[in-house]
Amino acid sequence: MDIANLKAFVSIAKTGSFSLSSAELFITQPAISKRIAALEAELDMPLFDRIGRKVRLTDAGKTLQQHAQVILKEIDNARQSIANLSTATQGKLKIATSHHIGLHRLPSVLTHYVASYPDVDLAIDFMDSEDACKLVEQGEIELAIVTLPLTKIANLKQELIWDDPLSFVVNKKHELGKQKTNLKKLTRYPAVLPSHGTFTREVIQNLFAQKDLELNIKMSTNYLETIKMLIQVGLGWGVLPTSMVDSKLQVLKAPATTLNRKLGIVWHAKHSLSNPAQALINYLLTQKQ
């Protein structure tokens, strides 16, 4: 099978559109249609049902999609392994990180990296740690610098770089800041926490679940900076990285426990790392706390 034809097929299966895929692959729509027609002729099976402007995978298309993705990833791995025979650190590196880590942990790291490897074309996607791990697992990005999952994900390697202690906080006028408290008392007050499904929320929920306590959640969001603002204006108590706590917040001394999340690197265990990716990992390891 022709590789270009397979790339066109995978792109259309992902976008659901010939026109969007032609733009993604920088070829004309007639050219991309020709590639799909060649694949369908070779397999003697239709791969897509055309319904107006929309396309949908047939059963044959769904079967080919599974194999095509594996084939294209293996081709990329072969190219990467050959490229790594060179000692030069150059080419494109696509990574993902969370907004919090990007703002608070990576500026000095990336400043050093960009200065040290000017021939690397670095692309950074900012997203939730959970989504970043999925993209690494799917082979869409090479590595992610994220909040590490509590349970290791199959096929992913991870390396701890920073311990990130967490603090229970309220605004300066909140009544919880004027008295001793405990986890049970916290459940009587509204909380502003990270969204359900995030690794940080899981850390917090596990602590309360161990005491058979149910949280009273007023609001939730994926952005820690937004949570900080909501706590500051008095909408509830919350949990933030200790490094984010400032004079506008009151740390609760009460919960007789310590909370901590782990920040680090995630990459695919079965994919060859490019020289740029390995160089970034090597430097991050020097920052390990």
253, 267: one domain = no
Exposed, middle or buried by CB within 10 Å (0-12, 13-18, 19+), for 233?
exposed
Q: What pLDDT, on the 0 to 100 scale, is given for residue 188?
A: 93
56, 120: one domain = no
Q: What is the 3-state secondary structure (H, E, C) of 143-212?
A: EEEEECCCCCCCCEEEEEEEEEEEEEEEECCCHHHHCCCCHHHHCCCCEEEECCCCHHHHHHHHHHHCCC
129, 267: one domain = yes
158, 127: one domain = yes
Taking only the tens place, the pLDDT of each residue in 204-238 is 999 999 889 999 999 999 899 999 999 999 999 99
Taking the model in full, what pTM does it have? 0.70
Backbone angles phi, psi at 16, to 5 degrees: 70, 20
Tell me the C-alpha distance between 185 and 181, whole Å: 6
The pLDDT of residue 87 is above 90? no
14, 138: one domain = no
269, 246: one domain = no
Contact assessment for residue 38 and residue 2, using Cβ atoms and an 8 Å cutoff: yes
186, 115: one domain = no
Q: What pLDDT, on the 0 to 100 scale, is given for residue 256?
A: 61
* CATH code, domain with 45: 1.10.10.10
In angstroms, what is the C-alpha Rg of the chain?
24
149, 23: one domain = no
Taking only the tens place, the pLDDT of each residue in 36-77 is 999 999 999 999 998 777 889 999 999 999 899 888 888 887
48, 121: one domain = no
186, 221: one domain = yes
- Quickly list DSSP for 224-238: HHHHHHHHHTTS-EE
Give, to the nearest 10 degrees, the angle between helix 18-25 and helix 29-43: 110
Classified as helix, coil or strand, 69 is helix
Taking only the tens place, the pLDDT of each residue in 100-146 is 999 999 999 999 999 999 999 999 999 999 999 999 998 889 999 99
Count of domains in the chain? 3
Q: Which domain holds residue 105?
A: 91-162+263-286
